[in-house]
Amino acid sequence: MWVQFPILLCILASICACTPERPSPETPVPETLRVVSLSPSNTELLHAIGAQELMVGRTSYCDYPTSTQDIPSIGSLFPPDFERILSVRPNLVVMSNGNTKVRDRLRRLNIPVIVIHPKTVDDIADSMRRLGVAVGYETRAEHAAQAFEKRLMQLSKKGQGAISVLYEVASKPMRIPGQTTFLADLIRHAGGIPIGHADQGDWPMVNREWVLTRNPDVMLVTEQKRIKALNHPTHPLRNLSAVKAGTVYVVPDPDLFVRPGPRVLDAIRWLINTLKP
């Protein structure tokens, strides 16, 4: 499910925020866990380690796997509905780092919170392991993490390509992933070179002059109508190499690219095939 950019930016910011917190080794795992996931990526990670059976709540944006729909929704975090969160009686909440007010309020209500937000593709395996420790599924999580690492090692083309790639996160105004974001790391694993500068922040706005100067070999967009717009004779980006060469592509599912979970391997595989000469 694709969301409007203001909400998307909040979700993406939560992925790229602070230093990950570690679960306290002194805190025992409750005998009966009731887990609420407050981010789609963590919902997918919980499924990946076989811990979906512990979930009693998820956000309205948590839509994968399809069986997730059977788990009660606590609504959106924009704004959060604490009454609905409390109604499912969680004794562990898994969330990304962005909304510190939500995290702090939950802790004041004596609800344990673990913050999981992989900042790179490689971090996904360690995130599985951390979740495994938090919910008492260490063995399952280790197997899932090792399987992910093996598939990534077989798939990755990091450092092997020279094709410049612009991923358009939003078009009005145009935003792209910064150099230190998860999305930029994904592009590198596919053998691409994400355009941009490290000092521009996580999701910088860029103007058409900047894009024309960088002149990417490949441009990734999220909607087919964007390609039609770029090819209009009066569009200011009509002379980009990617537009003239027909190498502007619609990503198959934006969630694969912006959710740091196990399906990122599908995104990398698609992009590797797309970037082939």
Q: What are phi and psi of 231, to 5 degrees?
A: -90, 0
Sign (positive or negative) of CA dihedral 45, 50, 54, 55? positive
Residue 26 has pLDDT above 70, yes or no: no
Q: Residues 114, 181: one domain?
A: no
Q: Residues 183, 219: one domain?
A: yes
Measured CA to CA, the distance from residue 12 to residue 2 in angstroms comes to 12
Q: What pLDDT was estimated at residue 97?
A: 76
Q: For the chain, state the CA radius of gyration.
A: 20
Q: Residues 138, 266: one domain?
A: no
Q: Residues 174, 63: one domain?
A: no
Q: What pLDDT was estimated at residue 31?
A: 67
Q: What pLDDT was estimated at residue 20?
A: 40
Q: Residues 121, 73: one domain?
A: yes
How many helices (H) does the chain have, and how many strands (E)?
12, 10
Range of the domain at 256: 163-275
Contact 275, 190 (CB under 8 A): yes
Measured CA to CA, the distance from residue 145 to residue 255 in angstroms comes to 20
Q: Residues 145, 168: one domain?
A: no
Residue whose entry in the numeric block shows the structure tokens 């392991």 = 129
What total number of domains does the chain contain? 2
Task: Please count the other Cβ atoms lying within 10 Å of the Cβ belonging to residue 144.
Answer: 24
Q: What pLDDT was estimated at residue 202?
A: 86
Q: Residues 44, 143: one domain?
A: yes
What are 69's two structure tokens? 């729909």
Task: Please count the other Cβ atoms lying within 10 Å of the Cβ belonging to residue 19.
Answer: 9
**238-266: average pLDDT:** 96
> pLDDT for 123-163, tens place per residue?
999 999 999 999 999 999 999 999 999 999 999 999 898 99
CATH number assigned to the domain comprising residue 16: 3.40.50.1980
Q: Residues 49, 135: one domain?
A: yes
Q: What are phi and psi of 226, to 5 degrees?
A: -70, -35
Which class for 185: exposed (0-12), middle (13-18), buried (19 or more C-beta within 10 A)?
buried
Q: Residues 255, 130: one domain?
A: no
Q: Residues 83, 216: one domain?
A: no
Q: Residues 104, 203: one domain?
A: no
Contact 187, 157 (CB under 8 A): no
Measured CA to CA, the distance from residue 7 to residue 61 in angstroms comes to 11
Q: Residues 124, 11: one domain?
A: yes
Instruction: Give the chain's mean pLDDT.
Output: 89
Measured CA to CA, the distance from residue 138 to residue 135 in angstroms comes to 8
Given 154, 182, 202, the domain boundary residue is 154
Given 154, 171, 199, the domain boundary residue is 154
**Coil, helix or strand at residue 123:** helix
The predicted model scores a pTM of 0.87
Residue 24 has pLDDT above 90, yes or no: no
Between 197 and 135, name the one with better pLDDT: 135
Given 107, 127, 154, the domain boundary residue is 154
Q: What pLDDT was estimated at residue 118?
A: 94
DSSP string, 184-224: HHHHHHTTEEE-S-GGG-SS-B--HHHHHHH--SEEEES-H
